Amino acid sequence: MKRKVPIAIIFVVGQFLAFFMDGSISQILSGTLFKYPNTMVPCLTMMWLILAAFFGNSKKLHLSAWAAIIGFIFDMYYTGILGVYVFIFPLVVYLCQVIYQQLPPSFMSGFLVYFLGITVLVTLGFVANAFIGQASTSVSQFLVNTLAPTLALNLVFLAILYFPIETLYRTHRR
Partner 1 sequence: MQKFFSSRKLVIVIVCLIISFGLMTVSVAIRNKRSTPPMIQQFGNDIVGFADRVVAVPMNGVQHGFVSVKNLLNTYQENQRLKSKVDLLAQTQVKDQTLERENKQLKRQLNVGSTLTGYEKINAAVITRTPSSWASQVIINKGQAAGVKKDMPVIAGPGLIGTIAEVNKTNSKVVLVSNTAENSNRFAIQIVGSDSKVVNGIITSYDSQSNRIVMGNITSKAKLAKGDRVSTSGLGGTIPKGIYVGTVSKIAEDDYGLAKKVYIKPAANLNDIEVVSVAVRE
x/- letters, 92..121, toward partner 1 (CB under 8 A): ------------------------------
End-to-end CA distance of the chain: 15
C-alpha 121/C-alpha 48 separation (Å) is: 14
Q: For 4, phi and psi rounded to 5 degrees? A: -80, 145
Q: Count of residues binding partner 1 (CB under 8 A)?
A: 47
Residues 23, 25, 31, 34: is their CA dihedral positive or negative?
A: negative
Best CA proximity match to 141, nearest among 133, 149, 152:
149
Residue from 77, 107, 111, 163 touching partner 1 (CB under 8 A): that is: 77
Q: Stretches 29-37, 50-58, 106-114, 162-170: which one binds partner 1 (CB under 8 A)?
A: 29-37
**Which is nearer to partner 1, 55 or 154 (by Cβ)?**
154
C-alpha 82/C-alpha 29 separation (Å) is: 26
Q: Which residues bind partner 1 (CB under 8 A)?
A: 16-17, 20-28, 30-31, 34-37, 39, 41-43, 73, 76-84, 86-87, 122, 125-126, 128-129, 131-137, 146, 150
